[in-house]
Amino acid sequence: MKQENLNPLAAELNAVLSGTIAERLMSPLGKRLYFPKGIIAQSAEAKKSAHTANATIGMAYHKGKPMILSAIAESMPTLSADQAVAYAPTAGVEQVRQEWKKLILNKNTSLNPDKISLPVVVSGLTSGLSLLAEIFLAKGETLIASDPCWDNYSLIFKERRNANLLEIPFYTGADSTAGGLDIERISREAEKEAEKGQLRVLLNFPNNPSGYSPTKAEAEALAALFLKIAEKGTDVLVLCDDAYFGLFYEDSIFEQSIFSLLADLHPNILAVKIDGPIKEDFVWGLRTGFVTFGSKGLEEKHYTALVTKFMGAIRSSISCANTPAQHIIIKALEDKRSQDEKNNFQDILKKRYIKVKQFLAENPNHPRLKAFPFNSGYFMSFRCEGVSAEKLRQALLNEHGIGVISLGDACLRVAFSSLDEENINHVYKTIFDTALKI
């Protein structure tokens, strides 16, 4: 792409990123993106220096405070008017970005704080993935994901970006008592794709819909695979969708993000962590997520340029993330009660997980339903053999009032996270019995 065809601000950012993994992996749209020195940038300057009067931002003020309806103020009594209704900075409230980076480092102790970017706030993890797709995925390019995978990936990467979503069966073993990641198959498919000169992979752990997280050996095997490919000169992009991070129920699980193994591994590897409090902190409706970049080949100036481009993607789509949600998250992080409450909620989920495991152990070898390996997160799923997942879903809903999810015709997802422990045996017995009658 000729520099003269680009906005000068985009060309300037591209020059900073020239020769880096980020620049090489960027889509044509990613290379065109920039953060305009318009209303938002000028308003940010004015916020610092306009001591007499600030007439830059499109908000209504009275006596130095944003105007706010009483009903809104009374609904959020712990937030100031600025926290409740003012625009947030494009990249997010600085305090929540700093606090989230601290959390990432605390949960991923092998990470070097100087080797990752400051997280950028997005309007939920879906928004983060969609914006990353715009920057790093062009028409016809391929992204590897698990089979089965979250159905929204198809909309985000395939339908919106016209990319190829290559779904690979990630698991070995016929039921939940055996099996794990099929490292051999993942390696074979990744190396085949890498022959095209670039490799793009999406890793979602704990996985939706399977509910599986890798063991330490499996995580290290994945990192070794990407290192091997990178050392051959191939550029590797790994998107780490960590939506359910931390909800681990077995001691064998690698309790850090795969991001921690990749962020400083090789200059030809760009790792991106997409996470947030939505699942981790039980705040689904706050729609707030974070995007963090990491690569051995990137310095602070490169991260600044890359984040600025990402801000351009935010500015041109959602403008900025929800302000009160960010301040509510800050309050939750600062509240001494939060960690004990989170631990209690996770204990409840683990008990439900154990109950499901017990049912499957006591009812093995179902002729039509084979559980994918699962050890974490909100879900587990069945591979349907000789029965349509969609027909089974409809029968469960219409005949028994039980709601589950069919993903294609061969995968049935059950969210045990939403089942009270005392109802689990009844629900699963009904699923097993119904599958035999169709």
DSSP string, 299-339: -HHHHHHHHHHHHHHHHTTTSS--HHHHHHHHHHHH-TTHH
Same domain, 151 and 190: yes
pLDDT at 2: 53
- pLDDT band at 155; cut points 50, 70, 90: very high
Same domain, 361 and 321: no
Is residue 182 assigned to a domain? yes
Does 177 have pLDDT greater than 60? no
Same domain, 290 and 351: no
Residue type, 218: E
How far is CA 156 from its chain centroid?
A: 12
Burial status of residue 404 (CB atoms within 10 A of its CB: 0-12, 13-18, 19 or more): middle
Same domain, 212 and 287: yes
pLDDT at 4: 57
The domain boundary, picked from 314, 334, 354, lies at: 334
Same domain, 129 and 28: yes
Same domain, 211 and 360: no
Mean pLDDT throughout 194-204? 97
CA distance 431 to 402: 9
Instruction: State whether residue 130 is helix, strand or coil.
Output: helix
Is residue 42 assigned to a domain? no
φ, ψ of residue 126 in degrees (nearest 5) = -60, -45
pLDDT at 176: 47
pLDDT at 42: 75
Same domain, 198 and 99: yes
Does 164 have pLDDT greater than 90? yes
Q: Quote the DSSP letter at residue 373.
A: P
* Pick from 424, 430, 418: nearest CA to 369: 430
Neighbours of 140 (CB within 10 A): 9
Does 435 have pLDDT greater than 70? yes
pLDDT at 207: 97
CA distance 267 to 235: 9
Same domain, 278 and 198: yes
Using the CB atoms, write b or e for 256-292: b if 16+ within 10 Å. bbbbbbbbbbbebbbbbbbbbbbbbbebeebbbbbbb
pLDDT tens for each residue of 235-294: 999 999 999 999 999 999 999 999 999 999 999 999 999 999 989 888 988 899 999 999
Does 399 have pLDDT greater than 80? yes
Count of the separate structural domains present in the chain: 2
pLDDT tens for each residue of 218-252: 999 999 999 999 999 999 999 999 999 999 999 99
pLDDT at 105: 98
Same domain, 312 and 297: yes
Same domain, 299 and 397: no
Beta bridge partners of residue 272, listed in sequence order: 239, 293
CA distance 381 to 383: 7
| Alpha helix (H) residue ranges in 232-377 | 259-262, 277-280, 300-315, 323-334, 338-362
pLDDT at 64: 79
* Proportion of the chain above pLDDT 90, given as a percent: 84
| Contact present, 243 and 204 (Cβ < 8 Å) | yes
- Give me the torsion for CA of 319, 320, 322, 326, rounded to 10°: 180
Domain that holds residue 409: 338-437
When mean pLDDT is compared across 161-175, 374-388, 421-435, the lowest value belongs to 161-175
The domain boundary, picked from 308, 334, 360, lies at: 334
Is residue 176 assigned to a domain? yes
Arithmetic mean of pLDDT over the chain: 93
Burial status of residue 340 (CB atoms within 10 A of its CB: 0-12, 13-18, 19 or more): exposed
Is residue 82 assigned to a domain? no
Is residue 56 assigned to a domain? no
The domain boundary, picked from 311, 334, 357, lies at: 334
* Proportion of the chain above pLDDT 70, given as a percent: 94
Beta bridge partners of residue 200, listed in sequence order: 237
CATH number at residue 388: 3.90.1150.10
Mean pLDDT throughout 115-126? 97
Same domain, 321 and 208: yes
Same domain, 327 and 352: no
pLDDT tens for each residue of 15-38: 999 999 999 999 999 999 998 876
Mean pLDDT throughout 371-380? 95
Q: What is the rounded radius of gyration, in angstroms, for the C-alpha atoms of the chain?
A: 23
Is residue 57 assigned to a domain? no
- Of the CA atoms within 13 Å of residue 410, those in its CB half-sphere come to 8
Is residue 276 assigned to a domain? yes
Is residue 74 assigned to a domain? no
pLDDT tens for each residue of 85-100: 999 999 999 999 999 9
CATH number at residue 104: 3.40.640.10
pLDDT at 49: 76
Beta bridge partners of residue 179, listed in sequence order: none
